[in-house]
Amino acid sequence: MKRYLSCTVLVTAVTCFLALGLTGCGKKASSKADAMELEQAFGLKPGAPPSEETTPAGLASRAVAAIHAQDWPKTVSLLGQLRRARDLTADQMHAVHNTQGNANVRLVELACKGNAEAKAALDRSKREADAR
């Protein structure tokens, strides 16, 4: 158990170091720009309430709402679901990919600051990746 905890701490520390180092080297992405990119790619009306539909557009609308709320764990989760959708256009995939990368950076930043929900979301993400 101790070995698992020390590995987890080491992985988290390395991830935080890399994320903070990489984000410090360039222009910080704007959450507003991310939301706009998703809205344009999925033909969503800016400022519209999130849809409860399970379609790609419905998932995108909920992801946009999560971005506006700066709920990064939820944003990453919704974008992960959206990324697995089968019928996305190239523009939609590009928007999801860009936004997911930016949301992951924000999630890692939160985890590095000690946010328990962000740490749990990163652990979930790692388990899902290991399962694939």
Question: What's the half-sphere exposure (Cβ side, CA atoms, 13 Å) at 92?
Answer: 18
Both tokens of residue 54? 């399970």
| pLDDT, tens digit only, all 132 positions of the chain | 555 545 455 455 555 544 544 444 444 568 899 999 999 999 999 988 899 988 999 999 999 999 999 999 999 999 999 999 989 999 999 999 999 999 999 999 999 999 898 888 888 877 877 776
